[in-house]
Amino acid sequence: MHRRPLGIGLIGVGRHGLRYARHILHDLPSVSLKAVCRRNPAQGLDLPGADPVTVYGDARALIEDPAVEAIIVVTPPIFTREICKSAVRARKPLLVEKPLAASAADAEAMVSEAREAGVPLMTAQTLRFDSTIQEMRKRGHLIGRSERLRLTSHIEIKATTPGHADGYGKRGALLEIGVHMLDLVRFLTGEEVQEVRCTMDHQPPTAPETVVSAQLTTVGGTACLLDIARVPEGRVGSAEWIGLQGRLQADWISRRLRWIGNTESQEWEFSPSQTVLATLMAFLEAVEQRRPMPITGEDGLRAVEIAEACYRSAETGGAPILVDRRS
């Protein structure tokens, strides 16, 4: 029996939101883009194959649209709390782009409300779907007991609209791009972060940070060093994971992975990953098959909690701060 396409509502169609829209329109025949929400609805949705898509200026109106059965949120994180509340009340599953929220308090509220209502909530930590990262995780057994993890993320400075940092609660690189690294610590090691030490070049809310150095310690004893920065040019995305029996070195920009053991080594190269598409597919599969979300709201909450501890540490000049796990 042929099932009609699942109706999707997309809230946020900026640069990143349009990536989601294109995949929904052209790569996912089992779903249908029924509505989008944007600040200026008069702009419509100028994408091939986008007709007829209802364009709203109010997220609540989109959520209440009976044609919308699942919701994707690609907005600045200061807006996700209220959007999530409305979606939960409407009993509609939702996928929220990272970071889940601009603060741990908001993220906790979102997770608690969705859990209590039994509404599926997924965090779009898209880097988890990168082929190099996935293969690094699969081969983690090659290094033996985890001891150290170094993660580097340098991304080009981009032109932003005035007030861009306001959408992140006046926070910068750590919450906007570094949240991927905070999530990777848990994803790769399988361990919760217990303590952080962090320094930044600027202190929000005075100014958003652009350079971050953080030391994280997991409950299993893995010492993690994170180097996060906005740079003029020269994107870097790399990881080195060291254990008792060797190390794994990954570069997800060039899509290479190398294992160095005590007496041998091996290298692999991978094809480019469409991480947004993979994220969408995983979310929709979980919705349609009524399975648990592959990246939960709790996963998103954990990353924001670690970020929160990093900001508190930076305020004290890099003093050790315990991560406050809220739920």
Are 11 and 57 spatial neighbours (Cβ–Cβ below 8 Å)?
Answer: no
The b/e string for 272-283 (b: 16+ C-beta within 10 A; e otherwise) is ebbbbbbbbbbb
Q: Mutual orientation of helices 104-117 and 80-89 as an angle, nearest 10°?
A: 10
pLDDT classification of 214: cutoffs 50, 70, 90? very high
91 Rama sector, left if φ>0, alpha if ψ -120 to 50, beta otherwise: left
Cα–Cα distance for residue pair 55/43, rounded to 1 Å? 9
Q: Would you state the pLDDT for residue 20?
A: 97
pLDDT number for residue 1:
42
CB atoms within 10 A of CB 174: 28
Q: Per residue in 45-96, pLDDT tens?
A: 988 877 789 999 999 999 999 999 999 999 999 999 999 999 999 999 999 9
Three-point CA angle 109, 133, 311, nearest 5°: 40
Give the dihedral sign, CA 297/301/304/310.
Answer: negative
Higher-pLDDT residue of 2 and 78 is: 78
Q: What is the pLDDT of residue 234?
A: 93
Is 301's pLDDT higher than 80?
Answer: yes
Instruction: Give me Rg for the CA atoms of the chain.
Output: 20
Whether the pLDDT of residue 118 is over 50: the answer is yes
Would the CA dihedral through 184, 189, 193, 197 be positive or negative? negative
- The secondary structure of residue 175, as a DSSP letter, is I
pLDDT level of residue 327 (50, 70, 90 thresholds):
confident
What percent of the chain has pLDDT above 90?
91
pLDDT band of residue 160 (cuts 50, 70, 90) is confident
Tokens of 6: 């699942």
**Torsion, CA 99, CA 101, CA 103, CA 104, rounded to 10:** -90
| 223-240: pLDDT as tens digits | 999 999 999 999 999 999
Predicted confidence (pLDDT) per residue in 215-225, tens digit: 999 999 999 99
Confidence class for position 265, pLDDT limits 50, 70, 90? very high
Rounded to 5 degrees, what are φ and ψ at 12?
Answer: 105, 110
Please, what is the end-to-end C-alpha distance for the chain in angstroms?
A: 41
List beta partners, residue 198.
214
DSSP assignment of 73-125? E-S-GGGHHHHHHHHHHTT--EEEESSS-SSHHHHHHHHHHHHHHT--EEEE-
DSSP secondary structure letters along 114-158: HHHHT--EEEE-GGGG-HHHHHHHHTGGGG-SEEEEEEEEEEE--
Distance (Å, rounded) from C-alpha 25 to C-alpha 22?
5
What mean pLDDT is reported for the chain?
95
Q: How confident is the model at residue 181 (pLDDT cuts 50, 70, 90)?
A: very high
Q: If pLDDT is split at 50, 70 and 90, which confidence band does 325 have?
A: confident
Q: What is the model's pTM? A: 0.95
